[in-house]
A and B are shown apart, each in its own frame.
Chain A
Amino acid sequence: MSRWLRAVLVVAIASLVVVLALAFRRAPTDIRTGTVGKPAAAFTLEKLDGPGTWSSEQAKGKVVVVNFFASWCIPCKEENPALVRVYERYRASDVVFIGVLYQDSRDSGLKYVRDNGVAWPTVIDDAGRVAFSYGVFGIPETFFIGPDGVIVGRHIGPIDETTLVRGIECLRVPNAGDCPRASASR
């Protein structure tokens, strides 16, 4: 084995050990807030159901609910009825819902949206770059963004109606109480 190959082997093993050791910096049950409290990354993505793009600029100054989903994700289907109900409740308000299709094909995404009654705007993030900039841990994942463009809360896993409404109401109504920074349902 050449000296060069030996060096690659040693570096690979050392890197693996460092990565595994660094994972102990947090408890596995502790889902860190990550991007919570930071300005949400701006993005422009292609619309799932047609030509044109959707830009986060369009929702400036509004309360935004960003939901990451995919057709291959079983828990996404589980949470969808709650999303549909809450969307209907806020449809006429200034709350903006945006669904981001994560690592999925356009055809599968469109079929999912049609079959599951997703009426809010959806965009396609095939390469997962927007998900990465939001620090998505695993889908489904929902982010609550205030009118000032700052991520106020996130929910990992299938979200229920109560958590959704609480996350929105604390942003819409002044003095409605502190917004939950991070929650999970797995």
Chain B
Amino acid sequence: MSWADLGGAALRAALPLAIWGCGAAAYGAAKRDGRALASSRWSALLVLVLVGLAILAMEGALVTHDFSIEYVARNNARATPLFFTVISLWAALEGSILLWTIVLAGATAYVAWRGVREMPRLATVALAVLLGMLAFFLLLVTTPAADPFVRIDPPPDGSGPNPLLQNHPLMALHPPLLYLGYVLFSVPFAYAIASLILGEGGDRWLVATRRFALVSWALLGVGIVAGSWWSYAVLGWGGYWAWDPVENAAIMPWLTATAYLHSVMVEEKRRLLRTWNLSLVITTFALTILGTFLTRSGVVNSVHAFTQSAIGPLLLGYFVAIVVLSVGLLLWRMPRLADQGGIGAPLSREAIFLFQNVVFVAATLTVLLGTLYPLIAEAISGAQLSIGRPYFDRVEVPLALALLFLMGIGPQLPWHGASRATLERQFTVPVVAAALGAAVAVVIGPSGVFAVLTYALAAFVAATVVQEFARGVRARRVLHGETAVVALASLIRRSGRRYGGYIVHLGIVVVAVAVATSQAGTVQIERTLSPTGSVQAGPYLLTLNSVRDMSEPQRELVVADLDITGGGTSGHLRPALVFYPNSTQAIGSPGIAASPRDDVYTILAAYDSRAHSWATIRVLVIPLVSWIWLGGAIVGLGAVIAALPPPRSRTRPVTVARVTAARVVEP
């Protein structure tokens, strides 16, 4: 049996099982039929096993270079290193849909076995929704739309993966993280739909899926940062974010999911915003599908876009079905979702969260408009055009600053409203910090109003976080007699959701400062150098040693050997132009000297192809850019802490005197 036979058969067997499971779960929930329910649970598990088998078959085919499978022939070659061979699974459309399917199958099996035990009826309906969605993706991978196991007459060698995708190990991380983020949001969506179908007015669905939403949000966020890093390290243009349609497609659901993670707290604490939360979950999920559609249908031009295939209309149909059904359900059930009471005081945590939600949604809508504007213009006038970066910068930067401001305010305000004394206690230190932040920006930081505002607001938010940690630690020390370090650890472990959230805020602050500084303070110089010639860029002196050809099994390179000295650094940089056999265009591969202060980013822009007697080197000195990746990691760490279940509480006697003392230090 060939790999294609094995993989194809597994997928074709999984499709009817998923359809059966979907029907059985729906029937089981409607009739409260235990046998039907058991059958749907086993179906979910079997589908996971079968899709897993298909993944193994594809990996087997890739590793053994089975070029009788078209996908392998197009995305693999004998010279492709093993690492890139393995990750070629998601190098093109069909494989990436297969990866999507296995993640969805995993989430579905989890709900079938864990979720159904915890909330039988709600989870069973959610299971039916998930199996229905899984059936759609299995339909894609078993029809010509995205069949990964199509056979051809085997060529002697394959053409290898897309050159851009075999230039950096981050390709192993960025797509799977994004897919995990996209797909895991199916679970909150399925529970929300189940809650609407069952007509539940409460928030059980929300409690059941809180952790899924958080994990999915974190994976999407870290995936986006990993993608920026990849773009920075591979594409050789010195930037990390270009408002490319596919980047936008990833940031939109992340924005609405961030709004949701905050408004969910309002529903938990105040039983408000039920319709709003359901709308945000539906919107986030619909945006993940829209993102997939934009990436894979080929309707927008982008470095990420896969070539056009029959999958576009199918994904559009899926998107329409999702939107129409979920919005229809929401409108139908709306009378049951009415909130008891209102938001109340404008200076309360819930009011700030709501306002912040509105800003998040405005940011999403403006990105959506900018992304779809070329399609809208084309639909109306027939003209093809695209929206430039200035539109996004002009619109999104003020919104981002507004969000940074609200990020500092929201967690400092109590629920229901704040007194004047509370405001003074909570905001004196942060306001002083903001003034200091602005002063730092004016004296040593980057120039420009937005950069100064970013520094001031970043200092404001950072001060609120430090203040919260300091008060928490002090309270624990008084109450439990712990040392500062133990108190900090216990705080994070026992109130992970709260303090994990603060750590996320700290990560966002780091990213904001790094983005503002790197955008405003980049120095760029371009020089044509002969060997031994040098160029000064900021404190760094770069000297060209030689321009030489290099040969590797899967590619040819032209490398400029540069020495870098000054600014406390000395070393070598090797910017290169890389030529792959399956591409007529050279791929620029930058040489980067990274440090916490700044990155020296070198690009080989042109060279003398006959005698190698000169090379044009573009040098960018980009301040603080490495902190963007670190900030992303801090966000991820905070999310992990927030997602961990709290330890079982053990009651320890605490004296009245200690409680009183603790109240003094913790508001």
Q: Which residues of A contact B (CB under 8 A)?
A: 1, 6, 9, 13, 16-24, 27-29, 31-32, 34-35, 70, 72-74, 78, 81, 102-104, 128, 131-132, 135-139, 186
Contact = CB atoms under 8 A, between A and B. Distances in A.
Nearest to B526: A77
Interface in B352-369: none
Given A72-B390, A138-B385, A23 B375 contact: yes
B462 to A, nearest CB: 30
A17 B388 contact: no
Residue of A27, A28, A78, A136 contacting most chain B CB atoms (<10 Å): A28
Nearest to A137: B384
Interface in B313-341: 313, 316, 319-320, 323-324, 327, 331, 334
Contacts of B331: 1, 6
A20 B293 contact: yes
Contacts of A16: 372
Nearest to A15: B376
27 contacts: A1-B334, A13-B323, A17-B319, A19-B376, A20-B299, A20-B319, A20-B375, A22-B378, A23-B299, A28-B298, A28-B307, A29-B308, A31-B384, A32-B384, A35-B383, A70-B388, A72-B390, A73-B388, A74-B238, A103-B388, A128-B388, A132-B385, A135-B383, A135-B384, A137-B374, A137-B384, A137-B385
Nearest to B323: A13
> Which 10 A-B pairs give the minimum distances between C-beta atoms?
A28-B298, A23-B299, A138-B386, A22-B379, A135-B383, A137-B384, A74-B237, A103-B390, A103-B388, A23-B375
Contacts of A13: 323-324, 327
B527 interface: no
Contacts of A1: 275, 331, 334
A175 to B, nearest CB: 31
Nearest to B616: A81
Contacts of A104: 390
A136 to B, nearest CB: 5
A137 B386 contact: yes
A37 to B, nearest CB: 14
A32 to B, nearest CB: 6
Residue of A20, A28, A32, A137 contacting most chain B CB atoms (<10 Å): A20
Given A135-B383, A137-B386, A17 B316 contact: yes
B379 A18 contact: yes
Contact of B385 (A73, A78, A136, A186): A136
A102 B308 contact: no
Given A19-B375, A27-B308, A135-B385, 8 more contacts: A13-B323, A18-B379, A19-B376, A20-B299, A21-B316, A29-B308, A34-B384, A70-B390
B60 interface: no
B300 interface: yes
A70 B386 CA distance: 14
B389 A72 contact: yes
B301 A28 contact: yes
Interface in B362-415: 372, 374-376, 378-379, 382-386, 388-391
B531 interface: no
B305 interface: yes
A132 B320 CA distance: 30
Contact of A24 (B312, B324, B389): B312
B432 interface: no
Contacts of B239: 74
B383 A27 contact: no
A186 B293 CA distance: 21
B606 interface: yes
Contacts of A9: 327
A186 B301 contact: yes
A102 B301 CA distance: 19
Interface in B285-311: 293, 297-301, 305, 307-308
A118 to B, nearest CB: 14
B383 A132 contact: yes
Nearest to A9: B327
Given A22-B379, A74-B239, A28 B386 contact: no
Contacts of B606: 81
Contacts of B388: 70, 72-73, 102-103, 128, 138-139
Contacts of B334: 1
Nearest to B316: A20
A20 B57 CA distance: 35
Residue of B297, B375, B376, B384 contacting most chain A CB atoms (<10 Å): B384
Given A73-B388, A103-B388, A135-B384, A17 B379 contact: no
A108 to B, nearest CB: 10
Residue of B297, B308, B389, B390 contacting most chain A CB atoms (<10 Å): B390
A154 to B, nearest CB: 11
Nearest to B528: A81
Contacts of B238: 74
Residue of B307, B378, B606 contacting most chain A CB atoms (<10 Å): B378
A72 B238 CA distance: 12
A20 B378 CA distance: 10
Residue of B313, B385, B391 contacting most chain A CB atoms (<10 Å): B385
Contacts of B320: 17
B372 A19 contact: yes
B358 to A, nearest CB: 15
Contacts of A21: 316
A28 B305 contact: yes
B383 A34 contact: yes
Given A6-B331, A13-B324, A19-B372, A28 B384 contact: no
Contacts of A136: 385
Contacts of B301: 28, 137-138, 186
Nearest to B382: A34
A131 B374 CA distance: 13
Contacts of A128: 388
Nearest to B239: A74
Interface in B584-609: 605-606
Contacts of B383: 34-35, 132, 135
Nearest to B379: A22
Nearest to B320: A17
Given A74-B237, A103-B390, A104-B390, A24 B385 contact: no
A31 B391 CA distance: 23
A136 B384 CA distance: 7
A70 B391 CA distance: 13
Contact of B308 (A22, A28, A72, A131): A28
Contacts of B275: 1
Contacts of A70: 388, 390
A104 B390 CA distance: 7
Contacts of B390: 70, 72, 103-104
Contacts of B293: 20
Contact of B379 (A23, A27, A132): A23
A14 to B, nearest CB: 10
Contacts of A6: 331
Contact of A19 (B319, B379, B389): B379
A70 B388 CA distance: 9
B283 to A, nearest CB: 11
A181 B382 CA distance: 18
Contacts of A34: 382-384
Nearest to B372: A19
Residue of A16, A29, A103, A131 contacting most chain B CB atoms (<10 Å): A16
